[in-house]
Structure 1
């Protein structure tokens, strides 16, 4: 009987040692800002704020698979490429003046807290 109990305990210990923890499995299955309808290999910008769950489902104002310049409204973005991207954007203040910014965006997404205009995407060499 003692041998049977030891064998069951050893089997359970082996199973627990090889199974991933619940928190590790959950963190791999979701992220704070999922890509929504942004296709893998592209950089997407949406003109609206997208709640992280279920992620953006509206039509993006920009979908780009490489370097780009132009002018699109932006409140949410997602870099679904394996590279860091420099995103140039501007904000027009209530007094009519405009400020220009550059943000290095690693893979992943986020929101702007104010409505901005994205004007350029370019590959960023090295880390952000």
Structure 2
């Protein structure tokens, strides 16, 4: 087998000099990449600090079935400083049918701590013997 050697000056004259590619991004590419990263960071910050549209999840603290016409339910509801929080509290029977229902309101107040739940004890009238009592859902109004 014959070894072929290429004479670089003749090769460059005939085919042109081969260019070594640059490593890294150009200045324009770096500016575009930085702008894209900044835009994503701004979108994430706006999303993270947007006002809540729903109250923090309420908690059922305890319930007690008194008799076939009454159930007592204790719930923890997170108040808001600027909006009233309305919640549905209900009692259900063994078949999960609603046998007692009421709405409660935690009024807005400047001194409310939205990170600490306010306990509400509710006497709920029922149409038959309940198996449980709980807070179902809450919303701002």
Common fold, TM-score beyond 0.5? no
Higher RCO by CA contacts (8 Å cutoff, separation 6 or greater): 2
Task: Give me the TM-score of the superposition, normalised by structure 2.
Answer: 0.29
